[in-house]
Amino acid sequence: MQIETPYLMFLGDVPDTLAAKTAYGIADWRPEWCVGQLRLPGCAADLGIPDLTLSDAVAKGCKTMVIGVANAGGVLPPHWVSEVVTALDAGLDIASGLHVRLGSIPEIAEAAERNGRQLHDVRHTSETFDTGKGTRRPGRRLLSVGTDCSVGKKYTVLALERAMRERGLDADFRATGQTGVFISGRGVAIDAVVADFISGAVEWIAPAADPDHWDLIEGQGSLYHPSFAGVSLGLLHGAQADAFVVCHEPSRTTMRGVKHPLPSIQQVIDLTIQLGSLTNPAICPVGIAVNTQKLPEDEARTLLQDLTRDHGLPATDPVRFGVDGIIDRMLAEFPAGSAA
C-alpha cells in the first residue's frame, strides 16, 4: 500500500501516552511527515506538534489522517466514527493500525466512496504466507524481546539500524507491528496473521540474505505475557534469531493489562534461549535495552551499570545513551565473514 504523506495524527481522547504509542512512534522516527495532531476533549496524549483543525490540516497540505492509537482489541470507539467521516469529507485519506477494518464500518465506507478517498488498514495484509519451516537461511538476524509489552522493542531495533548504518554496516529494520509499518513503509503486523502462519510470515519478512547482512526484527509482546505469548513465540521461531536484546521497563511490577508479575531479565534470557534454540541452536543475547524515561539520569546510569555487571551484557537506554555497546557485542560475537 502507498500511504500519502504528510500526516495529520489523530489521537482521539486516549487516556494515556501508551495508548497513543503508534502516533508517538511515527512522530519520533518520521517527524518530517507529521504536520499536526487532532485531539478530542479529554485526550491525555500530546505529541508536541501543532494542534490543527481539519481545515487547518488540509490547508497545510496534509494528505492522510493517521489514527495513531493502539488500544485493547484494536477497536474504533463509536464516537470517533463521525470524526473519521468528517476527515474523509474534508478530502483526507485515512490510515489505521487498528484490528477493525475501516471499510467494515458502513458510515466510513460510504464516506470514502462518495469522496473517492483511500482507506488504509495497515494491520491487515493481502499477502499469503506459508507455514514456517525453520530451515536455516543465510544472513544474520537480531530480535528484540521483552519482559512486557510496550517496553521499547521497536525503538531498540530502530536505534540499532540507525547506528549500524552510520558505521557502514549492512542492516535493515524489519517491522512486525502497525507502527513499524508506518515508519518503514513495509513489513507485516504479525499479531493480525493467523496463528499457524506467524513463523512463516516472519521468514517472509526476513528472508535469506547476504551472510553479513543484519535483519533487525521488531519484537512483539513477551514470552511471559498471558495475552500475547503465542505471537511472541511464533515470531521467535520465524526470526531464527542469531542474537537477541532483552527490553525492559524498570518501574513496572506487573505486566501491562494483566495482574501477572513482571518476569526478571534473566528469566527472559533463559526462556528465549530455550525456545529459540529450536530454529537456531546458537542463539545468544547481546544486550539489555532499558527504558529509563522515568528515572533521573544518575539513577538510570547506576541501574545500567548494575545490569551490565549482573548479566555480563551491555545494558543501555537506546534513546538516552545510544547502542554502541550492543553493536560492539554483536560484532564480537558475529565478526564479518564468520557466517557459515
Q: Measure Cα distances from 20 to 129, 179, 218 in Å.
A: 29, 10, 18
- Backbone torsion region of residue 58, taken as left when φ is above 0, otherwise alpha when ψ lies between -120 and 50, otherwise beta: alpha
**Would you say 173 and 25 are in contact if contact means Cβ atoms under 8 Å apart?**
no
The pLDDT value given to residue 70: 80
Domains of the chain: 7-121 (3.40.50.720), 140-333 (3.40.50.300)
Cα-Cα-Cα-Cα torsion 178, 179, 181, 182, nearest 10 degrees, comes to 120
> What's the confidence (pLDDT) of residue 158?
96
Q: What is the DSSP letter of 195?
A: G
The answer to whether residues 48 and 102 touch, using CB atoms and an 8 Å cutoff, is no
| Cα(290)–Cα(282) distance, integer angstroms | 24
Nearest to 36 by CA among 77, 5, 71, 2: 5
- pLDDT for res 340: 57
Residue 56 has which C-alpha cell? 487547518
Distance CA 184, CA 172 (A): 10
Task: Determine the pLDDT at residue 3.
Answer: 86
pLDDT of residue 298: 97
Q: Which of 114, 57, 50 is nearest to 85 (CA)?
A: 114
Cα separation, 251 vs 214, whole angstroms: 31
Looking up cell 557485542, which residue turns up? 329
pLDDT per residue as tens digits for the range 119-148: 999 888 878 999 999 999 999 999 999 999
Spell out, as residue ranges, where the chain has pLDDT lower than 50.
Answer: none
Q: Using the structure block, give the residue that is written with the C-alpha cell 508517538.
A: 24
In terms of Cα–Cα distance, which of 27, 326, 318 is closest to 158?
Answer: 318
Model confidence pLDDT, tens digit, residues 171-198? 999 999 988 988 887 889 898 899 999 9
Task: Give the distance, in angstroms, between the CA of residue 340 and the centroid of all CA atoms in the same chain.
Answer: 30
DSSP state of 261: B
